Amino acid sequence: MPRFKLIIEYDGGAYAGWQSQANARAVQDALEDALERMSGERPRLTAAGRTDAGVHALHQVAHADLKKEWRPGNLRDGLNAHLKLMDDLVSVIAIERVDEEFDARFRARKRHYLYRISNRRAPPTLDKTRVWHIPRKLNSDTMHEAAQVLIGRHDFTTFRATHCQAKSPVKTLDRLDVIRKGDDIEVFASSRSFLHNQVRSMVGSLVEVGLARWTRDDLRAALDAKDRKRCGQVAPPQGLYLIGVDYA
């Protein structure tokens, strides 16, 4: 069966996350509905990352096996037409034919996330559902300095959701940069894989540093404690974006 790789963009605020579930609409449902309307098939999509409810994607990657051989451009355009008709906030950016060994989830070598903070007194209007608004001034320099404590291979139990299903809390964090751009603060995180809520937990703890409620040493102590109770606040989902997935 022909296998196709999809690059997908979506507004996560409209969905209960990527993965299909019993009582709420997910991004996966929207795409599988569109595939069924267009092709008469309902293949199961496999994604690089199962984003949570409210989390957005600029570059989600998924694959699907179809019985028919499609021209990638025609498949992309047809899916987008059906997604538009269904009023779904999902867009297929690109599609390519890949060999059957490609797996969007297990072949991924690195995943990249962006977290956006609006750091000004006035609340955002256009980006209200796409950023975390923090009106009190954050020190992005101290946040970035503290973030480097988390780089490398660690037990990230402190920054792991209590219901996380990962077999091990040990992960290698390759990048955690905090960059100010005017009134906006952007946090970039890269790793081969992340624990459930890891990025949002790290960002929330970095905000404690930015507000001068924590120091770099406090963040290190929280990491070393390997205790979820030592985590700072968990950043809300609307500021988080999956922005890229690397393959070998």
Is residue 52 part of the annotated active site? The answer reads yes
Q: How far apart are CA 55 and CA 178, in angstroms?
A: 19
196 and 146 share one domain = yes
What range does the domain containing 93 cover?
Answer: 3-98
Q: Tokens 């296998």 map to which residue?
A: 3
Whether 88 and 26 share a structural domain: yes
* Coil, strand or helix at 244: strand
SS (HEC) of 38-84: HHCCCCCCEECCCCCCCCEEEEEEEEEECCCCCCHHHHHHHHHHHHH
Asked if residue 55 belongs to a domain, the reply is yes
Flag whether 120 is in a domain: yes
137 and 224 fall within a common domain = yes
Helices 140-147 and 216-225, packing angle to 10 deg? 40
45 and 117 within one domain: no
Do 139 and 243 sit in the same domain of this protein?
yes
Do 93 and 116 fall within a single domain?
no
Choose one of 69, 98, 127: the last residue of a domain.
Answer: 98
Q: How many CA atoms, within 13 angstroms, populate the side-chain half-sphere of residue 191?
A: 19
Report how far apart, in Å, the C-alpha atoms of 31 and of each of 36, 40, 91 are.
9, 13, 9
* Shared domain check, 225 and 140: yes
pLDDT, averaged per 10 consecutive residues of the chain (248 residues), comes to 97 96 95 96 95 97 96 97 98 98 97 98 97 98 98 98 93 98 98 97 98 98 98 97 96
Does residue 103 belong to any structural domain of this protein? no
User: Domain boundary residue among 72, 98, 124?
Assistant: 98
Strands of 122-197, DSSP E: 132-133, 152-155, 170-181, 184-191
Predicted pLDDT at 36: 97
User: Are 119 and 64 found together in one domain?
Assistant: no
* 104 falls within a domain: no
Is-contact 182 154, C-beta < 8 A? no
How many structural domains are present in the chain? 2
Choice among 52, 174, 184, 227 that is catalytic: 52
Position 164 in a domain: yes
Structural tokens at position 79:
């899916």
> Hey, what are 220's tokens?
């290190």
Both tokens assigned to 179: 């960059």
Whether residue 119 is contained in a domain is answered as yes
Same domain, 119 and 220: yes
Residue 70, amino acid: W
d(CA 147, CA 190): 12
Number of Cβ within a 10 Å radius of residue 1: 12
Enter the pTM of the model. 0.96
pLDDT at 83: 98
Examine the domain organization and report whether 113 and 93 are in the same domain.
no
pLDDT reported for residue 145: 98
CATH of the domain at 30: 3.30.70.580
Please check whether residue 18 is in contact with residue 28, taking contact to mean a CB–CB distance below 8 angstroms.
Answer: yes
pLDDT of residue 37: 96
Assigned domain for 64 exists: yes
**Could you tell me if 44 and 63 are in contact, meaning their C-beta atoms sit under 8 angstroms apart?**
no
Q: Indicate whether 10 and 89 sit together in one domain.
A: yes
Structure confidence at residue 248 (pLDDT): 81
Residues 128, 239, single domain; the answer is yes
Predicted confidence at residue 193, as pLDDT, reads 97
CA-CA-CA-CA torsion for 16, 21, 24, 26, nearest 10 degrees? 50
Two tokens, residue 169: 């809390």
Distances (CA, A) of 152 to 81, 105, 123: 43, 22, 35
Report the CATH number that the domain containing residue 176 is assigned in CATH.
3.30.70.660
Residue 117 lies in a domain: yes
Of the residues 46, 76, 98, the one at which a domain ends: 98
The pLDDT, as a whole number, for residue 226 is 98
